[in-house]
Amino acid sequence: MSDFAGMEELLQDFLVEAGDLLSDVDNKLVDLERSAGDVSLLNEIFRGFHTIKGGAGFLAANELVTLCHLTENLFDKLRNGELEVTPEIMDVILAATGAVRQMFGYLEQSTQPPAADEGLIRSLKQALAGELVEAAEAPAATSSDEPEPEGEGPDWDKMYQVVVSEKTAVSAPPAKKTQKSDGAEEEVIKAAIGRRVADKPGYSGPTGRREGEKQRDNSIRVDTTRLDQVLNLSGEIGLTKNRLNALRSQILNGDTDNDTLHSLDVAVSQLDLLVSDLQNAVMKTRMQPIGRLFQKYPRIARDLARNLGKDVELALAGEETEIDKTMIEDLSDPIIHLIRNAVDHGVEDNDERKANGKSLKSTLRLEARQEGDHIVIVVADDGRGMNAEKLRASAVAKGLITDEEANTMDERQSYNLIFLPGFSTAGEVSAVSGRGVGMDVVRTNIQKLNGSIDIKCVAGQGTSFIISLPLTLAILPVLLVRLGDQPLAVPLSMVREILPIETDKVQEVGGRATMVVRGEVLPIVPLSSLLGWPQVNQPEYGVLMQTAEQSFILAIDSFAGREDAVIKSLDDFRPQGVAGVTTLSNGQIVLILDMKELLGGPGERHGVPRAALIKRVALAA
């Protein structure tokens, strides 16, 4: 039963506003740590927390009010000069904001949050009294076998396992529980663990959902000016429809003179323009500033750098760049992995930076920009860069590639080795890296969004990861190809060029048909063989296609043009190798092929041959 019966709408409004405020407070706290004397910044942080406390009070979320009140008092003493901003105080404050975010997790389930951890409350009170002990001087914790009452608070030890090994440790058994110490060290550390778990991707507070089940936010905040545009266009379409109905009546009554036909042509053209504008306007309602995704990363970078003893500042650029809402959640984990990789591997430790004449403060850059119909996201560091030779040697040592393959690789291919599952250059497994997972997940998730990731590196100066994504997943530019009379669609983003297949230029290499294109030997892959369809005609054309793993020539019979396809899902009945279907302008239904799945996936799905499934769908279309 809901603890907020009759207040559901108010609760949702509070969660949206308070969530944005808390994210803004987190970012300002990271700035405050670097500008300790900035009173205006402290005032803004104070006002943000005061607003959250006020909303929580209106909802009678008393435990949240208590935590906010203590933290607000600490901000008040800082802005009045009664206390100084120190790393220890910042740790306690950031722990408090993390605990607030955990309480939001309870509110999202319409449940009153329990009291904050006693250690955190004690640390806040010590900070207010100016008695906060530095972590290095705190006494060690004593162990106890006394179990923690179920449901009264988070399992801190299990949460620590989540922090140090991310998703791989979730299924591991929790460590032996420890009793809370009177010292400040354990309280600060445990509270800090709580806020880090709250910032972990996919964490939404305590929940009764099955383990591993991720709750997605399907709501969207839309600027009213965009909704007004949709409304205005809908009205104009209605007027044009009325005009077309009037012209239809005239024509049915025999009025087919040139003026009537001209008016009909004008009305149809106007309707076409209005529908196109309406489609664009609706698409814009799905677009969200990427800054809403970026705003959590400065804190993540700050916490990780502090744990590693490094001084790293994350600089953001292009936060106003807009991206499809459906992509924002799916981008969260890949960017976190890239930031962790940059802070841990890319940025040198202080001794190495000093020896190389670099500033001890490292700058990590997270930037977004729009280039044509794509969004480009860059994660760049000013660290040591990557050593191609070392990467190749590590891949050979782990058995991921052979010596012969390593000897033929250029620098770009060597850099891409880090995306192989199991690849790692870390000498030992640490809390941050060394397990050989992460970067392969990054590339896989980016590819699921029809995107790509590239690496640029300058030795001694840093590494840049460049992610390229389509503006939206709702509309996909496709190239229409034909096998016999059957049109099929392939994503245009994978197409490099179209070329004729000339018999005298086809050569057999290793039992496979190939062609040389500008000095590059490329295999010819008949589309009919991928689908399991009989090859009726000799393919006359080839589509030079590029995936993350390879380039190849897709042999087809002919072309049917280019279209911007609105993708429709096949739900549960989706043959392997088919991304979805679309309807052409002439009303014909066409399959959109998933080339990566066709090339690399197994030949059967649920015991039914892939070719039979695809043929069945094509015939039904």
pLDDT in tens, 79-123: 888 888 888 898 899 999 999 999 999 998 889 999 999 999 999
User: SS3 of 519, please?
Assistant: coil
**In 3D, which of 242, 378, 244, 362 has the Cα closest to residue 313?**
362
CB 576 within 8 A of CB 613: yes
**Helices 87-108 and 62-79: crossing angle, nearest 10°?**
150
Q: Starting at the earlier edge strand, list the strands of the sheet with 589-593.
A: 558-566, 475-483, 486-491, 589-593, 578-583
CA of 227: how far to CAs of 170, 276, 280, 326, in Å? 42, 16, 12, 19
The structure's pTM equals 0.64
What local confidence, expressed as pLDDT, does residue 462 receive? 93
CB 541 within 8 A of CB 496: no
What local confidence, expressed as pLDDT, does residue 133 receive? 60
Cα gap 594→65, rounded to integer Å: 51
Low-confidence ranges of the chain (pLDDT < 50): 135-214, 428-431, 434-437, 601-621
User: SS3 of 449, please?
Assistant: coil
Q: What is the pLDDT of residues 365-409, one digit of tens each?
A: 999 998 877 899 999 999 999 999 999 999 999 888 888 888 888
What local confidence, expressed as pLDDT, does residue 600 receive? 65
Cα gap 216→201, rounded to integer Å: 11
Q: Which residues contact 432 (CB under 8 A, 6 or more apart)?
A: 304, 307, 308, 340, 344
Token pair recorded at residue 579: 């991304």
CB 516 within 8 A of CB 507: yes
What local confidence, expressed as pLDDT, does residue 548 receive? 60
For residue 278, how far is the Cα from the chain centroid?
28
The upper half-sphere exposure of residue 597, i.e. CA atoms within 13 Å in the direction of its Cβ, equals 20
Cα gap 344→303, rounded to integer Å: 12
Cα gap 413→484, rounded to integer Å: 38
What local confidence, expressed as pLDDT, does residue 599 receive? 78
For residue 121, how far is the Cα from the chain centroid?
34
CB 564 within 8 A of CB 476: yes
**Helices 39-58 and 62-79: crossing angle, nearest 10°?**
160
CB 373 within 8 A of CB 324: no
For residues 30, 33, 36, 39, the Cα torsion angle rounded to the nearest 10 degrees is 20
**Helices 87-108 and 118-128: crossing angle, nearest 10°?**
140
